[in-house]
Amino acid sequence: MIEHLLSTADLSRDDAVLILDTAGEMENLTDRSVKKLPALRGRTVVNLFFEDSTRTRISFEAAAKRLSADVINFSAKGSSVSKGESLKDTALTLQAMGADAVVIRHGASGAPMRLASAGWIDGAVVNAGDGTHEHPTQALLDAYTIRRHLCGGSGDLAGLRVTIVGDVLHSRVARSNAWLLHTLGAQVTLVAPPTLVPVGVDSWPVTVSYDLDTVLPETDAVMMLRVQAERMNADFFPSTREYSRRYGLDAQRAALLPQRSIIMHPGPMVRGMEISDDIADSDRAVILEQVSNGVSVRMAVLYLLVGGSREGAGETS
């Protein structure tokens, strides 16, 4: 296994499948009886959030607590690109606290890698979303959700066709999913207006299309990305209405999907723009399940990064 979880590009197929399998075990265990496993007793997990994201923080917090870890929530307020307390000083503080793992959400791409590689701390670093770079645990929970619905809950995603729709340029979810789904054997198609596809995308292991309607009939899972408010008036597209008409998922479009296909969204949704109300609430949407799977996947990640290799050494102290 890897030492930190910074990018899904660092995961081999076997690593990824191991995480998904472990998440499955976590789900079974916590479903059955014990709400808490002793795996990380005596370990400290710090949630270091430079950006507000209650959803992700709560998910990590629940995951760590179910593994019996001590959890410290450290929210460093203020925008990431203004200079408050520096990342370095914060890291040194956490090091002094003896953090075994730092879960970091940061507005600057690469902040988790800096944290892991600059020599400021010893603990494992888990990227909980960095700028417009990656959000690896989101991709893992997406893969977990897809596998559960379309692959019987085991193995990889070989041969599945996954379509990711929306603001690929600024989406950390899209990046993490592109690498991970490819590693797991899926065929990934990105659909977006050309302004929201990064220059350089030709080096990605994906197909790019500008036309959602032609792609949907060939799609097993469609993932709708959030369009952030700050993009809406930056001329990436003429108007939200036009965006919605060309790239939104409404009932008429959803009807183009094959029967067993599922509909996903990493949340929070802009209903009526990316996805219509009725589709978001339809049977084919697995959006709420993505949220609950998030806890199992994050338990698996923390367990494998913090619990595994150092087990024993820490238990006696």
Which residues are near another protein by CB under 8 A? 9, 80-81, 83, 86-88, 106-111, 113-114, 117-118, 130-134, 172, 175, 198-204
Backbone φ and ψ for 297, nearest 5 degrees, come out as -65, -40
Tell me how far apart the alpha carbons of residues 227 and 166 are, in angstroms, rounded to a whole number. Answer: 7
* 216: CB partners within 8 A, 6+ apart: 163, 222, 253, 254, 256, 257
Shortest distance, CB of residue 56 to another protein, whole angstroms?
17
Give whichever of 57 and 172 is closer to another protein, judged by the CB atom. 172
Q: How far apart are CA 105 and CA 126, in angstroms?
A: 9
Q: Shortest distance, CB of residue 64 to another protein, whole angstroms? A: 24
For another protein, the closer of residues 175 and 253 by Cβ is 175
Return all residues near 239 (Cβ < 8 A) that are at least 6 apart: none
Q: Which is nearer to another protein, 111 or 124 (CB)?
A: 111
Rounded to a whole number of angstroms, the minimum distance from the CB of residue 172 to another protein is 6
Is residue 290 within 8 A of residue 141, CB to CB? The reply is yes
For residue 72, the minimal CB distance to another protein (Å) is 21
Assess contact for 189 and 161: CB atoms under 8 A.
Answer: yes
Contacts of 28 (CB under 8 A, 6+ apart): none
Kindly tell me which of 110 and 272 has the beta carbon lying closer to another protein: 110
Please report how close the Cβ of residue 168 comes to another protein at its closest, in angstroms: 9
Nearer to another protein, 203 or 316 (CB): 203
